[in-house]
A and B are shown apart, each in its own frame.
Chain A
Amino acid sequence: MIANVGCSSLAMAFLAALYGAIAAAYGARRARPRYVESARHAMLLTWPLVTVSALAIIWLLVSGDYQIHYVASVTSNSMPTYLKVTALWGGQAGSLVFWSWLMAAFASAAGIRKWHRDRELLPWVVVVTMVTLAFFLGLVVFFENPFARLWLTPEGRQVTALFQPRGTTPLIPSDGQGLNPLLRHPGMIIHPPTLYLGFVSFVVPYAFAIAALVTGRTDDRWVRITRRWTLVAWLFLSLGLILGGRWAYDVLGWGGYWGWDPVEIAALMPWLTGTAFLHSVMVQEKKGMLKRWNVILIILTYALVIFGTFLTRSGVLSSVHAFAQSAIGPLFFLFIGVTFVASLSLLIKRWDDLKSENQLGSIVSREALFLFNNLLFMGILAVCFWGVIFPLISELFTGQKVTVGPPFYERANSPLGIGLLLLMAIAPLSVFGQTSWKLLGRALWKPLALSFMVPFFSALRGTTNLGALLGYWVISLITLVTLYEFWRGALARRRRHGESLPVALWKLTSRNRRRYGGYVIHLGVVLMVLGVIGIEIFQTETQGTLVQGEQLTLDRYTMIYESLTQFDTQDGRNVTRAVVSVFRDGKNVGELYPRRDFYYSSQQPMTIPGVRSTLEDDFYVLLVGWESIGLSGATFKVYHNPLVNFLWIGGLVFILGTMVAAWPDRGPEPVLKLAKKRAATARSKIGGLR
């Protein structure tokens, strides 16, 4: 019954989305507002319909209706309820429904707010969002239906079908297979939804860009409308990436936070183009330049969002994340191809209308530096994209699979990343328009001179690694420049309004949130880079097999193997848990409990590290193996990860900065006011000419 309700509401949502797309396009083309209004109502209907469907799935998951194939494949009796709920996005069909649910919500949000203000653009926004939604809903209705049931043929074969095939009997398993062990983690509550939120909200700026292209509104209206959407999308995508890193660090047991896994890269790629877009869009707002480029960037971001979902959902790449595999791959491929070509054709049609209104002031002007920033982001994108698809190309043409692993990405991206960091240090001091090297030099020399202090002193204290010293120098420079920016802004305010420094700082930030929020993000990046330097350059590791009472030493740490126990848990795991005592500089600092969980149902082991975490460093212990008889001997792999916590602290600062930048304004934005004023003067001028 519940399944039928969910399934029919899913089908209705699909029809509503399809109708909305067609009616909106027809109404806008033929100038029939009634059709557009009707399309809008259809769009507003999709969200409640998909909500009903998603709730139905959650109901089935929690109540354990194992005749539903999806329920049987991602849940089991022993799973805690919160994991059963999160199983909505733990498998193929459910996660596509979840995607659609978010898409419907965002489309409705874009359509409810300020519908009357942007009448011209909104019909096309409806078209784009509803086409996207209809595609995803079509996939779930026709190919990956989460409500399909299990049936048993008279020959004893198991079939999956929505309706009872003739001559079969319902098959109701007593237990399900359960969620992939990798996903049984509290991170499951938040990491996939944030990533999806990031993915889906990028569809909205794309939809406005396409609407601008179709209607021929070549001003920066679409950019202004979607500024906050873009920031919010970017916020969630960044948060999703950071949380994913933390999750990997906590449970995957490889001592790191980022493994250049294809699925990680799939989420990183739209982030790269999105970040480039966030920067270059400012040039369009300020100078009316880069209009074509910004459209290209948002088209790319959309394509990469769908491509990212495709990579994780099609099973085309096998990786730790590609737990769901099915035949929907070709459809995804087709959809990406068609939307990409259609978007580009629209762009080409409007190419001449999107001419730059301004010229580049100087090679060191803010706009020029933003262009270099974009070049570097595109460089990283090229490396990532190529690294991900090359194994497929190789397999296709030579039949041989190859691995493109971390060394490739690290070697290729490091110089580009350092270039980006340098720009981050210089660009805040440059200005838009006419400027010169001299002007930039005058602003830069003080922070530059000071920035050499940190690498100098750390070299004195015995750091000999050139990469680390270079890294210290760059991040000191960024920090100094950024703080200098806050400082001189606050000073200017104090001079002007006689405010105390803290008040001046507060007002400065709260009234230029995007600018100063951006700087806070830069400071977050600085902290994260510090963590990356810690792991990439200073991480050490060792491994040893110990009998009880023996010890293993790494840097300043010593661990003693105390004991090992093995037991079964209620949720179908066999846990092998070691107790080790940890000493730092000979002083006991506590016990750690590294363990290995073996999941009976999926026959998969999971390695959960024991970690002692301080601001200075992490001591990270993995239980690699043990003597099965007597449990007397065990093998441990230990890592010493200096500074790694700065990665997470930096992540928090990063997110905080994004929230500052994206926080809603109270009154109308000053830039908008400025635009209005400009428009008014232009009108009066035209009036005067008449």
Chain B
Amino acid sequence: MMKKSTFTLSIAISLLFLLLLSGVAAAQDHEPTDDEVNAIAKQLYCPVCENIPLDVCPTQACVQWREIIRQKLAEGWTEDQIKQYFVDQYGDRVLATPPARGLNWLVYILPPAVFVVGAYLLFRVVRGWRQQAVMETPIASISPDDPYIARLEEELQKRDR
């Protein structure tokens, strides 16, 4: 029983090893292009040159970061793994937007909340006005066919005098 499980395990390990090896080999076949590097770099910000995306930042530090991305891609890392690598090294600030957790939720919740509250307030004000308006008779008299043209002509006449 014992022997069998060790056997299975060793098979599994060697299979995994082979798989990894082939993965690396496959990745090494493929030298990542600049565009692949930039596709990831575009989403990252280095802590030194704030607010300049990594793919266009000309400083030496950013050149090195792009080299790291290139290496990792060559080693077969995925986009998410590479981003996570930078997050682990330098913190969440390397990401273009804060990850939605903890206090950061506020980033995403507050503006829509403010908008909804604003819309609600506007709705109430408008409703209040409308109710008042229904109670009172309308002030402006409107010419039936086209009120805008009528008003425009009236204005223009006034000016020409």
Selected from B110, B156, B160, the residue in CB contact (under 8 A) with A382 is B110
Complex Cα–Cα for A72 and B139 (A): 67
Check B130–A394 contact: CB distance below 8 A.
Answer: no
Q: Which partner residue on chain B sits nearest A408 by CB separation?
A: B97
Chain A, 591-625, CB within 8 A of any chain B CB = 596, 605-607, 622, 624-625
Check B97–A407 contact: CB distance below 8 A.
Answer: yes
Check B130–A359 contact: CB distance below 8 A.
Answer: yes
**How does the 8 Å CB contact mask read for A383-398 relative to B, with 1 for contact and 0 for none?**
1001100100110011
Chain A, 468-512, CB within 8 A of any chain B CB = 488-489, 492-493, 496-497, 508, 511-512
Residues of A close to B34: CB separation below 8 A: 542-545, 635, 637
Chain A proximity of B105: nearest CB distance (Å): 11
Selected from B37, B50, B93, B95, the residue in CB contact (under 8 A) with A319 is B50
Residues of B close to A508: CB separation below 8 A: 156
Complex Cα–Cα for A439 and B145 (A): 9
Check A405–B118 contact: CB distance below 8 A.
Answer: no
A344 contacts chain B at the CB level, 8 A cutoff: no
Residue with the highest number of chain A CB atoms closer than 10 Å, among B51, B102, B115, B125: B51
Chain B proximity of A382: nearest CB distance (Å): 4
Residues of A close to B122: CB separation below 8 A: 371-372, 375
Q: State whether A320 and B51 are in contact (beta carbons under 8 Å apart), knowing that A359-B132, A402-B98 are contacts in the complex.
A: yes
Binds B, one of A211-219, A224-232, A252-260: A252-260
**How does the 8 Å CB contact mask read for B76-106 relative to A, with 1 for contact and 0 for none?**
0000000000000001111111100011101
Q: State whether A435 and B147 are in contact (beta carbons under 8 Å apart), knowing that A405-B51, A511-B159, A670-B158 are contacts in the complex.
A: yes
Q: Which partner residue on chain B sits nearest A357 by CB separation?
A: B139
Residues of B close to A394: CB separation below 8 A: 98, 103-104
Interface size (B, Cβ < 8 Å)? 60
Interface size (A, Cβ < 8 Å)? 75
Complex Cα–Cα for A378 and B156 (A): 35
Check B119–A375 contact: CB distance below 8 A.
Answer: yes
Residues of B close to A652: CB separation below 8 A: none
Residues of A close to B29: CB separation below 8 A: none
Check B106–A403 contact: CB distance below 8 A.
Answer: no
Q: Which partner residue on chain B sits nearest A544 by CB separation?
A: B34
**How does the 8 Å CB contact mask read for B128-146 relative to A, with 1 for contact and 0 for none?**
0110110010111010000
B71 contacts chain A at the CB level, 8 A cutoff: no
Residues of B close to A262: CB separation below 8 A: 51
Interface of B is mostly: helix
A434 contacts chain B at the CB level, 8 A cutoff: yes
Check B114–A404 contact: CB distance below 8 A.
Answer: no
Binds B, one of A19-27, A360-368, A653-661: A360-368
Q: State whether A383 and B56 are in contact (beta carbons under 8 Å apart), knowing that A375-B118, A375-B119 are contacts in the complex.
A: no
Q: State whether A397 and B111 are in contact (beta carbons under 8 Å apart), knowing that A489-B152, A670-B158 are contacts in the complex.
A: no
Interface of A is mostly: mixed
Selected from A402, A406, A431, the residue in CB contact (under 8 A) with B147 is A431
Selected from B104, B136, B148, the residue in CB contact (under 8 A) with A431 is B148
Q: State whether A434 and B51 are in contact (beta carbons under 8 Å apart), knowing that A359-B130, A371-B122 are contacts in the complex.
A: no
Check B59–A605 contact: CB distance below 8 A.
Answer: yes
Q: State whether A379 and B111 are in contact (beta carbons under 8 Å apart), knowing that A401-B91, A431-B148 are contacts in the complex.
A: yes
Chain B proximity of A512: nearest CB distance (Å): 7
Chain B, 9-45, CB within 8 A of any chain A CB = 33-35, 37-38, 45
Residues of A close to B140: CB separation below 8 A: 361, 432-434
Check B158–A383 contact: CB distance below 8 A.
Answer: no
Complex Cα–Cα for A511 and B154 (A): 13
Residues of A close to B147: CB separation below 8 A: 431, 435, 439
Selected from A359, A404, A607, the residue in CB contact (under 8 A) with B107 is A404
**How does the 8 Å CB contact mask read for A441-485 relative to B, with 1 for contact and 0 for none?**
001000000000000000000000000000000000000000000
Check B58–A318 contact: CB distance below 8 A.
Answer: no
Q: Which partner residue on chain B sits nearest A545 by CB separation?
A: B34
Complex Cα–Cα for A387 and B138 (A): 44
Chain B proximity of A371: nearest CB distance (Å): 6
Complex Cα–Cα for A386 and B118 (A): 15
A348 contacts chain B at the CB level, 8 A cutoff: no
Selected from A254, A379, A412, A606, the residue in CB contact (under 8 A) with B52 is A254
Chain B proximity of A602: nearest CB distance (Å): 12
Residue with the highest number of chain B CB atoms closer than 10 Å, among A363, A368, A431, A545: A431
A175 contacts chain B at the CB level, 8 A cutoff: no
Residues of A close to B97: CB separation below 8 A: 403-405, 407-408
B149 contacts chain A at the CB level, 8 A cutoff: yes
Complex Cα–Cα for A502 and B104 (A): 57
Q: Which partner residue on chain B sits nearest A677 by CB separation?
A: B158
Check B104–A496 contact: CB distance below 8 A.
Answer: no
Residues of A close to B157: CB separation below 8 A: 496
A358 contacts chain B at the CB level, 8 A cutoff: yes
Check B58–A386 contact: CB distance below 8 A.
Answer: no
Q: Which partner residue on chain B sits nearest A319 by CB separation?
A: B51
Check A382–B115 contact: CB distance below 8 A.
Answer: yes
Residues of A close to B38: CB separation below 8 A: 541, 543, 637
Chain B proximity of A444: nearest CB distance (Å): 13
Complex Cα–Cα for A341 and B22 (A): 68
A37 contacts chain B at the CB level, 8 A cutoff: no
B68 contacts chain A at the CB level, 8 A cutoff: no
Selected from A359, A379, A625, the residue in CB contact (under 8 A) with B133 is A359
Residues of B close to A407: CB separation below 8 A: 96-97
Complex Cα–Cα for A542 and B50 (A): 23
A345 contacts chain B at the CB level, 8 A cutoff: no
Residues of A close to B159: CB separation below 8 A: 511, 670
Check B98–A360 contact: CB distance below 8 A.
Answer: no
Q: Which partner residue on chain B sits nearest A430 by CB separation?
A: B148
Complex Cα–Cα for A371 and B125 (A): 10
Check B35–A543 contact: CB distance below 8 A.
Answer: yes
Residues of A close to B115: CB separation below 8 A: 375, 378-379, 382, 416
Residue with the highest number of chain B CB atoms closer than 10 Å, among A372, A405, A605: A405
Residues of B close to A398: CB separation below 8 A: 102-103
Check B132–A496 contact: CB distance below 8 A.
Answer: no
A400 contacts chain B at the CB level, 8 A cutoff: yes
**How does the 8 Å CB contact mask read for B46-76 relative to A, with 1 for contact and 0 for none?**
0100111101101100010000000000000
Check A433–B93 contact: CB distance below 8 A.
Answer: no
Check B133–A361 contact: CB distance below 8 A.
Answer: yes
Check B129–A434 contact: CB distance below 8 A.
Answer: no
A353 contacts chain B at the CB level, 8 A cutoff: no
Complex Cα–Cα for A397 and B33 (A): 41
Complex Cα–Cα for A275 and B153 (A): 28
Residues of B close to A255: CB separation below 8 A: 56
Residues of A close to B138: CB separation below 8 A: 361, 433-434
Check A360–B130 contact: CB distance below 8 A.
Answer: yes
Complex Cα–Cα for A30 and B160 (A): 46
Complex Cα–Cα for A387 and B96 (A): 12
A169 contacts chain B at the CB level, 8 A cutoff: no
Chain B proximity of A428: nearest CB distance (Å): 9
18 A-B pairs with CB atoms under 8 Å apart are: A356-B129, A359-B129, A359-B130, A379-B111, A382-B111, A386-B110, A386-B111, A394-B104, A402-B92, A405-B51, A407-B97, A408-B107, A431-B151, A433-B138, A434-B142, A496-B153, A596-B58, A605-B59
Other than the given A492-B152, A622-B56, 15 more pairs (CB < 8 A) read: A319-B50, A319-B51, A359-B129, A359-B132, A368-B126, A379-B114, A382-B114, A383-B111, A400-B92, A405-B97, A431-B147, A637-B55, A637-B56, A670-B155, A673-B158
